[in-house]
Each structure stands twice: as structure tokens, then as C-alpha cells.
Structure 1
Amino acid sequence: MSLGRPVKQAIAAVVGGVLVIVGVVLLVLPGPGLLLVLAGLIVLASQFPALERFVDPVRDRAMQAAEQSVAGPLRIAGSVLAGLALIAAGVVWGVVRSLPFSGWSTGTSLILSGLILFTLLIWSYRRVHARRTAMPEE
């Protein structure tokens, strides 16, 4: 009996679940929350095909949200602060043993989430900037 499939499903469930949870949190905080939800859904749908029906509607809305997330300097600054807060929280959770669920497994998840937020923020900015430069001036 091969443990490959159950292990892949478990990893996809954890990674996809973390991305979806952080994305949902970022729906109310500054940051590209829907892009993280989309990334989580894509990871989950790779192992759980029943979730594929949610990917396209979320993708459409996430692309709109990506453009809005870099619409102004205040939104960009808020997203950067949220990413820095996630990374700082990850370090704190990795170092301080008295916190609930303390340790580097939780800390690494938070740090990775912050890095993913920065990656998505940069991607969103470049996508919007490329679209604006491609559009002819009126």
C-alpha cells in the first residue's frame, strides 16, 4: 500500500487550508485576501476535485480585488504593514514558547503567509501597472 496519495492530500489540505484562512483574514485586513483564497482553492482542488467549481468565480473576483488592492498608496502601505505583521508574528510564535501553538511550525506558516502576501502584492502591482501602460491615453 502506497502512502503517497494520502500524504499528498494531507499536505494539500494543510497548505491550501492555511492559504484560505489567511486569505479570509485578509479580506477584512489590508492585503490581497481573495488572491490567497484563490491560491488555497487551487491547491485544495488539485487533490479534491469537488472544489474545482469554486475556482473560476473566485478567480474572477480575485482579479478585480487585485487591481483594487494596489489602487492607491494607502492600500499598498496597509498591505505592506500586514505582511510585516505576519512575518513578525511568525518570528514571535517561533521564539516565545508560552504562546498557544508556539513553535516554528506555526511561526513558519505565518512567515510564509507574509511572504506570499508580498509576492501577491508585487504581482498585483505589476499587473495593474502593465495594464495601465498598455492602455492608450485619451
Structure 2
Amino acid sequence: MEGRARDQGVVERVVTEVLGWAVVVIGIILWPLPGPGLLIILAGITILARQHAWARRVLDPLREKAVEAARFGVATWPRIVLSALGGVWLAVLGVVWWVSPTIPEFEVLGVGFGPRLPAAGWATGLGLVASAFAAWGLLVYSVLRWRER
């Protein structure tokens, strides 16, 4: 019986390691794209924090700052509405990038753009729409958890 529990613990540690590092790597790959790359990295570090003290040390100050920012963000109704509208803006941009309409050609600081949107396509669009849903979910959670009645 004791050997089975030990084996289960080893399997759990291995799965946690593999999953945590895989999520971190996926987040690093997605980081330069519009979307939740940084949040995915943090999710991977959160998984790794079950096994590693360095990951817990990274997350503790971030957790404090995140709670502070969430409380500030839901302190007034105008802030909540603006945050929700930010999610709408992300979703609209995601649809536009997914559809990839033809745009006029123009130049900014010597870099030319058009007739296609930079990084246009379903991947960028999906990342932006996923970011909008993540933002709305976090907003609802923050209102329920930290909004003072």
C-alpha cells in the first residue's frame, strides 16, 4: 500500500512538472502575439509553484499587486463599465483581425503597412477574442470578490 502511494506521488510530481513547463513554453511562444501569452506563462508558473519554492516566491508579490489592482479596478461603477468596454474593444479587434479586411497602405516611422493587417488571420483574432473573454471573466470575478457593497 505504501509503495502505491509513493508511486502515485511520483507520477503527480512528474505530471505537474511536465504540464507546468509545457504551459510556460506555450506562453513564451504566444507572448509576442496579441493575446494572453503573459497570463499563460503565469498559469504555468502557478502550476510549478506546487513543487518549487522559486515559483512561489515569484507569484507572491504578483498576487498582492493583482489583488490591489483588482480592488482598484472595481472600486467605482465607471471603472467597471470602462473595463467591460475594453473587453468589447478586444473582441471587436479580434473579429476584425480574424476577417482580415484589406486596408489602405500607409507608413509609420518608415515601416510600411497594408494592404493586409499585420499578423492578420484566425490565430491573432482568436487570441484577441480569448483575451476579451479572459478580461470579462476576471472582471466578473473581481466584482463578486472585491467590490465593496
Give the alignment's TM-score, normalised by structure 2: 0.61
Unaligned runs of 5+ in 2: 1-16, 102-115
- In structure 2, what is the Cα distance between the partners aligned to 1:8 and 1:40? 9
By percentage of residues, which structure has more helix?
A: 1
CA contact (8 A) 1:12 1:47 kept: no
**Distance (whole Å) between structure 2 residues aligned to residue 84 and residue 47 of structure 1:** 32
Residue 130 of structure 2 corresponds to: 112
Q: Look up the match of 1:84.
A: 88
SS in structure 2 at match of 1:102: coil
Any unmatched runs of 5+ in structure 1?
Answer: 24-35, 134-138
Partner of 1:46: 47
Normalised to the residue count of structure 1, the TM-score between the two structures is: 0.65
Matched residue, 1:28: none
Shift of 1:112: 0.3
2:44 alignment partner, SS class: helix
Counterparts of 1:40 and 1:76, CA distance in 2? 26
Larger Rg: 2
Q: Distance in 1 between matches of 2:76 and 2:43?
A: 28
Identity score, percent: 31
Instruction: Report the AA paired with residue 122 of structure 1.
Output: V
- Among residues 105, 108, 121, which one is paired with 1:103 in the alignment? 121
Supply the RMSD in Å over aligned alpha carbons.
Answer: 3.2
Q: Is the 8 A contact 1:42 1:52 kept in 2?
A: no
Aligned mates of 1:45, 1:7 — CA distance in 2: 11
Distance 1:51 1:62 in 2: 16
Amino acid across the alignment from 1:120: L
Work out the number of aligned pairs and report it. 113
- Report the CA distance shift for 1:73/1:40 in structure 2 as closer, same or farther (over 3 A): farther
Instruction: Specify whether residues 109 and 44 from structure 1 end up closer, same or farther in structure 2 by C-alpha distance, changes over 3 A only.
Output: farther
| More strand by percentage | 2
Distance 1:14 1:70 in 2: 30
AA aligned to 1:112 is A
